[in-house]
């Protein structure tokens, strides 16, 4: 157990990760070299997808997915309101409209019921893409969502940065997030707080070879090399971007990917300690819970707290935690309440998202934590909630 500040999440970089990056730096390619393909192949194998395409970050990967599906003005994308901004921004990048779906108040996940309600609000406009977010790592009802999407003429693009390493069983055996058994594509991020880190970094997986080819062209200016053409020849059918992920980052990603099982096991063990320690802490304090089919890799450990019922504000609790060296965070502010969306769509009542947002608090969770750190966080939370009866100075 350490006395240092515990952030809500952080990367785990070890000496062999550093050595892998140093080896890449000594190689011939700093941008697109052999490590890009090696990372992509290893990643596709790990999640059970036919193809993996690396790109510069998780936001770029969502943008590429929209472009590869040729989503554009007049089209509608459906995103849950409880997610990071990027899930909806990717639709805005291509000029599409966003309809925000509500979420289950206890898991934070979009459900078939909330998707059906959002589809109704789309009001007959062409819905092209539904973007389920596996919040915290818990897996959405992909078969249920896919059936509704398909009936509406849409496909699923999983925004899956929280769920690398998550598995699920919908009744037909174990599946892995990223295998795209129910979706057109799944998108990942390797931002330092996610389950593996490359600095900035993203990945798309798909089982559709044509989609994978389009993604590869779009991540590098829209350039393709016609088969059999002279060596200098390239063609551009459509402008793309420079969204490439460098060899240096892929070397780190490849090294980190080999540790995913260990990292995931550690996250699950820490979460089990939290679950046991927080059970019965106080009425009005409960860990967020996911669906039964889901075995989450747990990017986040979220607690749902009835702040009003306990007579404290979240702001005061977060400040009291910080004073005790404990980081915490809110995942997320409902995206539909952002000024940009409010200006365009007016006020929209999504009661599940509001109930989630009112109560959620993410506590520190990352593989480098010690068992004793969980105890330290839980003790600090008890004090911050004033459960020991002695009010901390000022609230």
Q: Which is nearer to ligand PLP, 167 or 198 (CB)?
A: 198
* The two structure tokens encoding residue 305: 């707290």
Least distance CB 247 / ligand PLP (angstroms): 18
Q: Which is nearer to ligand PLP, 58 or 240 (CB)?
A: 58
Rounded-to-integer distance, Cα 95 and Cα 105, Å: 30
Question: Is residue 202 a contact point for ligand PLP (CB under 6 A)?
Answer: yes
Question: Is residue 59 a contact point for ligand PLP (CB under 6 A)?
Answer: yes
Q: How is 88-132 classified by DSSP, letter by letter? A: HHHHHHTT-EEEEEP--TTT----HHHHHHHHHHHTTS-EEEE--
CB 104 within 8 A of CB 111: yes
CB 133 within 8 A of CB 159: yes
Q: Which is nearer to ligand PLP, 224 or 249 (CB)?
A: 249
Question: Is residue 362 a contact point for ligand PLP (CB under 6 A)?
Answer: no
Question: Is residue 158 a contact point for ligand PLP (CB under 6 A)?
Answer: no
Question: Is residue 214 a contact point for ligand PLP (CB under 6 A)?
Answer: no
Q: Which of 104, 159, 179, 373 binds ligand PLP (CB under 6 A)?
A: 159
Binding mask 115-144 toward ligand PLP (x if CB under 6 A, else -) reads ------------------x-----------
Question: Is residue 46 a contact point for ligand PLP (CB under 6 A)?
Answer: no
DSSP lists the bridge partners of residue 101 as: 80
Q: Any idea what the Cα angle at residue 56 is, between residues 13 and 85, rounded to 5°?
A: 95
Residues serving a catalytic function are: 194
Rounded-to-integer distance, Cα 360 and Cα 73, Å: 35
Question: Is residue 385 a contact point for ligand PLP (CB under 6 A)?
Answer: no
Q: How is 357-370 classified by DSSP, letter by letter? A: HHHEEEEP--TT--
Q: How is 185-243 classified by DSSP, letter by letter? A: EEEEE--TTSSS--SS-EEEEES-HHHHHHHHHHTBTTEE--TT--TT--EESS---B-
Q: Which of 80, 137, 161, 334 binds ligand PLP (CB under 6 A)?
A: 161
| Residue 78 parent element (H or E) | strand 76-80
Task: Give the residue closest to ligand PLP by C-beta.
Answer: 58
Q: Which of 11, 12, 57, 328 binds ligand PLP (CB under 6 A)?
A: 57
Q: Which of 107, 189, 195, 224 binds ligand PLP (CB under 6 A)?
A: 189
CB 189 within 8 A of CB 57: yes
The residue range among 120-128, 156-164, 306-314, 362-370 that interacts with ligand PLP, by the rule CB under 6 A, is: 156-164
Among 104, 163, 91, CA closest to 133: 163
Q: Which is nearer to ligand PLP, 273 or 335 (CB)?
A: 335
Least distance CB 244 / ligand PLP (angstroms): 14
Among 167, 147, 169, 165, CA closest to 156: 147
Ranges within 69-108 binding ligand PLP (CB under 6 A) = 83-84, 86-87
Q: Which of 9, 58, 105, 137 binds ligand PLP (CB under 6 A)?
A: 58
Binding site for ligand PLP (CB under 6 A): 57-59, 83-84, 86-87, 133, 159, 161-162, 189, 191, 202
């Amino acid at each position: 157990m350490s006395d240092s500040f515990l952030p809500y999440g952080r990367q785990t970089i070890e000496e062999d990760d550093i050595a892998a990056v140093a080896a890449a730096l000594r190689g011939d390619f700093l941008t697109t070299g052999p490590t890009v393909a090696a990372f992509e192949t290893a990643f596709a194998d790990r999640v059970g997808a036919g193809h993996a395409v690396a790109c510069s970050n998780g936001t770029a990967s969502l943008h590429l997915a929209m472009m590869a599906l040729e989503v554009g003005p007049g089209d509608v994308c459906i995103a849950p309101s409880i997610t990071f901004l990027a899930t909806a921004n990717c639709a805005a990048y291509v000029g599409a409209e966003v309809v925000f779906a509500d979420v289950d108040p206890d898991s934070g996940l979009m459900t078939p019921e909330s998707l059906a309600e959002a589809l109704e609000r789309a009001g007959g406009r062409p819905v092209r893409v539904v973007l389920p977010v596996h919040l915290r790592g818990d897996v959405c009802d992909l078969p249920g969502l896919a059936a509704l999407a398909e009936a509406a003429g849409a496909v699923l693009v999983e925004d899956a940065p929280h769920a690398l390493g998550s598995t699920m069983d919908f009744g037909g055996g174990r599946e892995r997030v990223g295998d795209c058994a129910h979706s057109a594509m799944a998108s990942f991020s390797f931002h330092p707080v996610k389950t593996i880190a490359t600095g900035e970094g993203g990945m798309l997986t798909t089982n559709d070879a044509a989609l994978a080819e389009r993604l590869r062209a779009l991540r590098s200016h829209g350039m393709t090399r016609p088969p059999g053409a002279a060596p200098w020849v390239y063609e551009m059918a459509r402008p793309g971007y420079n969204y490439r992920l460098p060899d240096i980052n892929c070397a780190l990603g490849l090294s980190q990917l080999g540790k995913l099982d260990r990292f995931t096991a550690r996250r699950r063990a820490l979460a089990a300690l939290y679950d046991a320690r927080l059970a019965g802490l106080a009425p009005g304090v409960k860990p967020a819970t996911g669906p039964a089919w889901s075995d989450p890799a747990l990017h986040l450990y979220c607690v749902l707290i009835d702040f009003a019922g306990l007579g404290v504000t979240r702001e005061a609790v977060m400040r009291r935690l910080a004073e005790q060296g404990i980081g915490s965070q809110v995942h997320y502010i409902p995206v539909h309440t952002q000024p940009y969306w409010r200006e365009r769509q007016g006020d929209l009542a999504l009661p599940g998202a509001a109930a989630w947002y009112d109560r959620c608090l993410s506590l520190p969770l990352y593989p480098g934590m010690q068992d004793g750190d969980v105890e330290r966080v839980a003790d600090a939370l008890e004090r911050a909630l004033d459960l020991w009866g002695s009010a901390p100075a000022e609230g």
